[in-house]
Chain A
Amino acid sequence: EVQLVESGGGLVKPGGSLKLSCAASGFAFSSYDMSWVRQTPEKRLEWVAYISSGGGSTYYPDTVKGRFTISRDNAKNTLYLQMSSLKSEDTAMYYCARHDSGYPFAYWGQGTLVTVSA
């Protein structure tokens, strides 16, 4: 069974940093592209980062480019999202998701909550 478990969320001050993790199990993690998606308190969904299976390709929307970095450790079956220069508008539930054969977001984790507030 595919399992994705996010962790690392919490309360952080504006301008601060936070690193999220997503532990994967039940599948060959190194064979799959992955993404992070966030859901705002208004329930709007926004894709925030993509990484290819081997880690060689990454993509970000302009809203987080230069502030967020997606990475992975295939030996540890873990996906990461390093977030810096955080703003109040980054407050959201952050989900990791697995892609499938070129079709994104086939499986989702349960999410980890990030709150950016003074």
Chain B
Amino acid sequence: DIQMTQSPSSLSASLGERVSLTCRASQEISGYLSWLQQKPDGTIKRLIYAASTLDSGVPKRFSGSRSGSDYSLTISSLESEDFADYYCLQYASYPWTFGGGTKLEIK
């Protein structure tokens, strides 16, 4: 199985700050990666697919990128609604697997 190592597991940041989250794949996943956001009420929303393609309606302050086996989600300027849990997901091969999550909190 492909392991997705997500870091950091938690992050405290201020409104307006730029933050980046990272997932490292244990095997080649060729960009078959998504980023998900989970709000405190449990609602889950996909933000990015194919490593860097923004889902419709997702604010442009979110972006995804790849450097080798490292995949990053960057939020350019944090807004209050961005404080949530974030997960990466690989769908390059079965079983599809998720990262352990990052809890983004207000500093």
Interface of A with B (CB < 8 Å)? 43-47, 50, 59, 61-62, 93, 95, 97, 103-108, 110-111
Please name all residues of chain A whose beta carbon is closer than 8 Å to the beta carbon of B34 when the two chains form the complex: 103-105
Please name all residues of chain A whose beta carbon is closer than 8 Å to the beta carbon of B64 when the two chains form the complex: none
What are 12 A-B interface contacts by the 8 Å CB criterion? A43-B85, A44-B98, A44-B100, A44-B101, A59-B94, A59-B95, A95-B44, A105-B36, A105-B46, A108-B43, A108-B45, A108-B46
Interface of B with A (CB < 8 Å)? 1, 34, 36, 42-46, 49-50, 55, 85, 87, 89, 91, 94-98, 100-101
**Measured CA separation A97–B36 after assembly (Å):** 12
Q: Is A106 in contact with B97, judged by CB distance below 8 angstroms?
A: no
Closest to A107 in B: B46
**Measured CA separation A111–B38 after assembly (Å):** 12
Which of A59, A105, A111 is close to B42, meaning CB atoms less than 8 Å apart? A111
Q: Is A106 in contact with B46, judged by CB distance below 8 angstroms?
A: yes
Please name all residues of chain B whose beta carbon is closer than 8 Å to the beta carbon of A47 when the two chains form the complex: 95-98
Seed contacts A50-B96, A61-B95; 11 additional CB < 8 Å A-B pairs:
A43-B101, A44-B101, A45-B101, A47-B95, A47-B97, A59-B94, A95-B44, A104-B34, A104-B91, A110-B42, A111-B42
